[in-house]
Amino acid sequence: MIVNIFDLNFDVSVSECMKNMKPHPKFQHCTFENYIPDSRYPSQSSIKNILSEKVLSAGKNKIKYQINNKGFFGFLKRSNSSDKNTDNQDMDLNLYLDGGFGVGKTHLLSACYNVAETDKKTFLSFGELTYFFNFLGIEKSIKYFSDFDLILLDEFELDDPATTRMIAKFFQELGNDTLVITTSNTLPSDLGKGLHFQIEEFEREMGVIADSFSTYVIEGEDYRRKSGSQVWKRVVDKEFFMDQYAKADTEAVSKGLIGFEELISLLKQNHPFKYYIIPDNTEALFIDGIKPFSSLDEALRFAHLVDNCYYYNTKIFIRSDYHLNDLYSNEMLESCFQKKFLRCLSRLDELAVFYLK
């Protein structure tokens, strides 16, 4: 089935977006049983056991502790995921799962949602949470999310001062009975490094954030790189790309074709909160003529689209004169959004087939 991307309806309400906060097709069947730890990295098995026990307590009167005023580099109370966690305070804290790309963090987070015995649970990316702040305001967002027993946040990251202030306020005022489990590629002690503002001015906010969590490190290799899933094809002309579009898997597959410039224009016309509309309606997205991003805004919008395609397991077919590693400039990869862009490249390794002239 051919989908006209330009005919998709992006006029969705905030409440409709809220209903979308759950593991999407790629992760909707994830459980702790089908998460297979790499035996070379004991931390994977350890955190699996910790999480399976922790989610059973969701909604059962989790007690929060007062935030202290430790210095920026002294506030991290880091837990060793290979040790038995006998500290009562650690057991009552939210969980922060740190690990590299492709070690299964999102699988584990989705498993928490799928097995949690509460209906008052939500799964969303950290970026989506900040979009809620922009849509509803921080006070209404705190009130809304405080009604949940379990909040699962994927890819925690701090990009700017405004986000830092809002997320600190969010954790400080979130309901006492709400358990938060989040994943990240950055340890709490490293959050904010490389940002273009004086991090010393935000010591208290960073302390509030870090003291809200017990931190666990998940070691391992990026399975997307390890599996060699990235596919490159050399093509002679556009007709070959179009031919593949016509033959994509079976006619039962919903597929859409759009030029790169048109895609960027469409993304600019819509709030990133609504980008899920594209993968929700297409199982295969063909992008013709992709080239290096000319602005940071375009690069960030595309990265968020890829995140959505990843959650929905929407395959991406790209025709380009450029290699994947050419899309982001060195300046972008060295900016405070570095982790965002590297994650995008890692996920494209799994999702995409590339056609090069």
Domain boundaries, the chain: 31-218, 223-356
- Report the half-sphere exposure of 75 (CA within 13 A, side-chain side): 23
Q: Is 35 left (phi over 0), alpha (psi -120 to 50) or beta?
A: beta
pLDDT band at 299; cut points 50, 70, 90? very high
Residue with tokens 């395609």: 309
pLDDT of the residue at 12:
87
63 vs 49, more confident? 49
Q: What is the pLDDT of residues 117-174, one digit of tens each?
A: 999 999 999 988 988 898 889 999 999 999 999 999 999 988 777 888 899 999 999 9
Band the pLDDT of 205: cuts 50, 70, 90: confident
Domain 223-356 in the same topology as domain 31-218? yes
Concatenated DSSP letters of 18-54:
HHT-S--TTTTT--STT----TT-HHHHHHHHHHHHH
Encode pLDDT of 88-125 as tens digits.
445 468 999 999 887 899 999 999 999 999 999 999 99
The chain-wide mean pLDDT, for the chain, equals 82
Specify the DSSP class assigned to residue 171. H
The amino acid present at 109, given as its one-letter code, is: L
Angle at 154 between CA 123 and CA 174, to 5 degrees: 65
**d(Cα 324, Cα 345) in Å, to the nearest integer?**
7
31-218: which CATH number, 3.40.50.300, 3.40.50.1220, 3.20.20.70, 3.40.605.10? Answer: 3.40.50.300
The fourth-level CATH superfamily of domain 223-356 is: P-loop containing nucleotide triphosphate hydrolases (3.40.50.300)
